[in-house]
C-alpha cells in the first residue's frame, strides 16, 4: 500500500545533496506524485470521492500559483455516466444449441455503453470481419458485402500492417488509428451490429490479458450522449484468445487460421456457422458531472494565442476483487500522477514569468475510458482551436535516470520535433523515434483529440538511452512496468524513485515551450502528415 513520504524526512534527504533551487523543484514533483497516487485518493476514478480530492488538489495548485480561470472556474464540466454491471449478468456462446457460459475475467470481459438498465441478446450469429476496419484511403473494407445488423462481429486487434510488417500495408508495424479498440467498437456500431468481440492476443494488443481484465471490468464510464449520436453497441467485449480457440474447435477454425484468412486479398467477412451469442446485461446507471481542470497564465502581448499543456488526472479507482485482504486500489502513480505533476511544475514555473503568448494548463478526465475528457474539451473548446499554437502532452512520464535522448511518440509528425531537436542538441542529446510504434501510443493518449482537429501536438517522454545502463536498462524498466504494473494495483509511488529523468524532461519542454511562447512561430504538421490539411484550413 502507498507510503506518503513525510515532508520533514524529505527535506533532510534533499538538503544533504541538492541546492536550494533543486529543493523547491524536487519537493513539488515528489509531493504532488505521492499525494495523487496515495491510497487516500483511491485511484482517482471520476465520480468518486477520490476523484473529487484529485480535482480539488489540482485546482488548489493552480490557484496557489496565481493562475487565472478560462471562464469563471477552474472546473470545466464534463457530463458523464457511470454504467455498473450487476453480477447476475452473463455472456454465453452456443454451438448448435449447446450453450457455454463464459467466466467473466478469465474468459471474457463484457459491458455496454448504452444507458439502460437491461440489454438482452439472443441467438446473435457470430460474423468474422477480419480486423473490423473500413479505410477507403487504404482501399480496405472488412464489412464489404455483408449485413451485420443484429449480429455479433468478431475482430482481430491492431491492423493488417502489424501482422505483415509490410510498409506498403497500412503503416507497417506502426499501428494506425484503425488498430485501436475504440475505433473497432465505433465502426461496428456504425455498421449496425448488436455486439462485438475483440480477440485479445498479447503481442498485437501490446499488453497482457491482466490489463484487459482490470481496465474493462466493473463500472464503465462514458459521456452522456446527444440525440444525434450513433447508438453504442448493445455489448462490447474482449475475449481471451485461448477461449476463442476452445470455442472454435467445433468449427474447423482457430486464431491462426482466422489471421491468415483476414490478410488474404480475397477476404470476405463470413458467418461462423453454428456459433451464437446469448447475453443478459443488467446495469445500474448513474449520471454525474466530471470535470476537466483548466488554468491560464495570460500573455502580455498576444493573450489570444495559446501554448497548451495536457495530462489526464483520472485512473481506474478501486475494484472489488472479492479477495478481501488484497490491495485493490489502482493508484496510478506512473499512469498518470507523474503527468499531472509535470503540468503542475510547468504551471509553477510559468506563473513566475511573463510571456508574450498565453499558457493553458489542462488536466483532463475520463482518459482511461477512451480519451473522453480531452475529446469533450476539444469538441466544446472555450478557446478557438485555431488559436492554440501548439500543445505538449504528458502521459506516464516514467521515473528513471537522465538519458542521452528523448523519445517522440509518433515521430515524424510535426515541426515541433525540429524545435525539440534544437534544444536537445544544446545538451548533446538527440531525438529517438518511438521504439514501439506497433503499440499505437500516438493514438492512445489525449493529444490525439487535439491533433485530429489540426492542433500540432508533441507527445514526448523520457529517453530510451539512459546515461547509466543505456538502452538495455531503459528497456528493462519499461518492459517490467508493462508486464507487472501497468493498470495494476502495483503502480504505486515509492520514495526511492529516481526523479532526475522526469526533471530532465521538464527542463527540456519548458525551454522549448518558453521559446515558442515568446516568438511569432506557428509550427505546423509536416507536409505529408494526415493532419496538415486540417491545420492549413483552420489557419486560413
pLDDT in tens, 498-512: 999 999 999 999 999
Average pLDDT over residues 60-75: 95
Q: Is 67 left (phi over 0), alpha (psi -120 to 50) or beta?
A: beta
- pLDDT at position 27 is 55
- pLDDT at position 11 is 35
Distances in Å between the Cα of 462 and the Cα atoms of 10, 370, 398, 429, 477 are 24, 24, 7, 12, 12
Average pLDDT over residues 131-154: 96
- pLDDT at position 109 is 97
Average pLDDT over residues 477-484: 91
pLDDT in tens, 316-347: 999 875 544 578 999 999 999 999 999 999 99
Q: Cell numbers for 27, please give them.
A: 519537493
Nearest Cα neighbor of 445 from 180, 89, 73, 158 is: 180
Cis peptide bond N-terminal to 323, omega within 30: no
Say if residues 156 and 244 touch (Cβ distance below 8 Å): no
Task: Inform me whether the pLDDT recorded for 25 exceeds 80.
Answer: no
Whole-number average pLDDT of the chain: 91
pLDDT in tens, 177-216: 899 999 999 999 999 999 999 999 999 998 999 999 988 8
What percentage of the chain exceeds 90 in pLDDT?
81
- pLDDT at position 3 is 36
Q: Three-state SS for 306?
A: strand
Task: Give dist(CA 32, CA 352) in Å, integer.
Answer: 19
Nearest Cα neighbor of 512 from 431, 404, 410 is: 431
User: Pseudo-torsion of CA 509, 513, 516, 518, nearest 10°?
Assistant: -130
> Where in 382-443 does DSSP place strands (E)?
388-393, 405-408, 430-433
Length of the chain counted residue by residue:
540
- pLDDT at position 7 is 35
DSSP one-letter string for 205-272: HTS-HHHHHHHHSS-EEEEPPPTTSPPPPSEEEEEEHHHHHHHHTTTT--HHHHHHHHTSTT---EEE
Q: Three-state SS for 388?
A: strand
Q: How far out from the chain centre does Cα 5 lie?
A: 28
Average pLDDT over residues 349-358: 97
At residue 495 the predicted structure's pLDDT band, cuts being 50, 70 and 90, is: very high
Say if residues 259 and 217 touch (Cβ distance below 8 Å): no
At residue 227 the predicted structure's pLDDT band, cuts being 50, 70 and 90, is: confident
CATH of 7-68+298-538 among 3.50.50.60, 3.30.300.30, 3.40.50.300, 3.40.630.10: 3.40.630.10
Domain at 83-285: CATH code: 3.50.30.30
Place of cell 458523464: 80
pLDDT in tens, 263-305: 998 999 999 999 999 999 999 999 999 999 999 999 999 999 9
Q: Three-state SS for 179?
A: helix
Nearest Cα neighbor of 313 from 22, 12, 47 is: 47
pLDDT in tens, 376-418: 999 999 999 999 999 999 999 999 999 999 999 999 999 999 9
Q: Reduced to 3 DSSP states, what percent helix, strand and coil does the chain have, rounded to the nearest 5?
A: 35, 25, 40
Say if residues 498 and 29 touch (Cβ distance below 8 Å): no
Task: Inform me whether the pLDDT recorded for 12 exceeds 50.
Answer: no
Task: Give dist(CA 492, CA 484) in Å, integer.
Answer: 12
Residues 6+ apart with CB under 8 A from 191: 143, 148, 149, 153
- pLDDT at position 5 is 36
Say if residues 342 and 289 touch (Cβ distance below 8 Å): no
Ranges of each domain in the chain: 7-68+298-538, 83-285
Q: Cell numbers for 290, please give them.
A: 466530471
Say if residues 489 and 401 touch (Cβ distance below 8 Å): no
Amino acid at each position: 500500500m502507498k507510503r506518503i513520504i513525510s515532508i520533514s524526512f524529505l527535506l533532510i534527504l534533499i538538503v544533504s545533496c541538492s541546492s536550494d533551487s533543486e529543493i523547491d523543484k524536487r519537493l513539488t514533483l515528489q509531493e504532488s506524485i505521492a499525494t495523487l497516487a496515495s491510497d487516500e485518493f483511491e485511484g482517482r476514478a471520476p465520480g468518486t470521492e477520490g476523484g473529487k480530492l484529485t480535482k480539488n488538489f489540482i485546482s488548489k495548485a493552480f490557484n496557489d500559483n496565481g493562475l487565472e480561470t478560462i471562464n469563471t472556474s477552474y472546473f470545466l464540466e464534463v457530463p458523464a455516466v457511470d454504467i455498473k454491471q450487476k453480477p447476475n449478468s452473463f455472456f454465453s456462446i452456443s454451438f448448435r444449441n449447446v450453450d457455454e457460459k463464459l467466466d467473466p475475467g478469465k474468459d471474457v470481459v463484457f459491458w455496454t455503453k448504452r444507458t439502460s438498465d437491461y440489454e438482452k441478446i439472443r441467438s446473435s450469429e457470430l460474423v468474422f470481419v477480419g480486423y473490423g476496419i473500413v479505410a477507403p484511403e487504404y482501399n480496405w473494407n472488412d464489412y464489404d458485402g455483408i449485413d451485420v445488423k443484429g449480429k455479433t462481429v468478431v475482430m482481430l486487434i491492431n491492423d493488417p500492417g502489424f501482422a505483415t510488417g509490410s510498409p506498403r500495408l497500412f503503416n507497417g508495424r506502426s499501428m494506425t488509428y484503425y488498430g485501436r479498440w475504440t475505433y473497432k467498437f465505433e465502426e461496428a456500431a456504425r455498421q449496425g451490429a448488436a455486439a462485438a468481440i475483440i480477440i485479445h492476443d498479447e503481442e498485437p494488443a501490446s499488453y497482457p490479458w491482466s490489463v484487459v481484465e482490470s481496465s474493462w471490468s466493473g463500472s464503465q464510464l462514458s459521456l452522456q450522449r446527444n440525440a444525434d449520436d450513433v447508438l453504442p453497441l448493445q455489448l462490447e467485449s474482449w475475449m481471451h484468445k485461448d477461449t476463442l480457440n476452445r470455442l472454435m474447435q467445433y468449427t474447423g477454425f482457430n486464431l491462426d487460421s482466422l489471421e491468415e484468412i483476414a490478410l488474404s486479398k480475397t477476404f470476405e467477412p463470413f458467418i461462423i456457422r453454428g456459433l451464437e451469442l446469448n447475453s443478459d446485461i443488467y446495469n445500474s446507471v448513474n449520471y454525474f458531472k466530471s470535470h476537466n481542470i483548466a488554468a491560464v497564465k495570460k500573455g502580455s502581448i498576444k493573450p489570444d494565442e495559446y501554448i497548451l499543456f495536457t495530462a489526464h488526472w483520472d485512473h481506474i479507482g478501486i475494484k472489488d476483487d472479492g479477495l478481501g485482504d488484497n490491495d485493490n486500489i489502482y493508484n496510478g502513480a506512473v499512469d498518470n500522477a507523474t503527468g499531472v505533476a509535470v503540468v503542475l511544475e510547468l504551471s509553477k514555473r510559468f506563473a513566475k514569468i511573463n510571456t508574450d503568448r498565453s499558457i493553458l494548463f489542462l488536466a483532463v478526465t475520463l482518459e482511461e475510458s477512451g480519451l473522453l475528457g480531452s475529446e469533450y474539451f476539444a469538441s466544446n473548446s472555450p478557446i478557438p482551436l485555431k488559436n492554440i499554437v501548439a500543445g505538449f502532452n504528458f502521459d506516464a512520464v516514467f521515473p528513471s535516470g537522465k538519458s542521452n535522448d528523448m523519445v517522440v511518440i509518433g515521430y515524424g509528425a510535426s515541426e515541433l520535433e525540429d524545435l525539440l531537436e534544437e534544444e536537445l542538441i544544446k545538451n548533446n542529446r538527440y531525438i529517438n523515434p518511438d521504439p514501439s510504434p506497433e503499440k499505437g501510443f500516438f493514438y492512445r493518449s489525449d493529444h490525439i483529440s487535439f491533433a485530429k482537429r489540426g492542433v500540432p501536438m508533441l507527445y514526448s517522454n523520457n529517453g530510451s538511452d539512459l546515461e547509466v545502463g543505456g538502452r538495455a536498462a531503459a528497456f528493462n524498466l519499461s518492459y517490467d512496468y508493462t508486464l507487472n504494473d501497468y493498470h495494476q494495483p502495483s503502480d504505486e509511488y515509492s520514495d526511492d524513485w529516481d526523479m532526475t529523468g522526469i526533471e530532465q524532461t521538464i527542463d527540456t519542454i519548458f525551454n522549448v515551450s518558453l521559446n515558442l511562447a515568446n516568438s511569432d512561430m506557428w509550427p505546423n504538421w509536416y507536409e505529408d502528415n494526415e493532419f496538415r490539411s486540417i491545420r492549413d484550413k483552420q489557419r486560413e
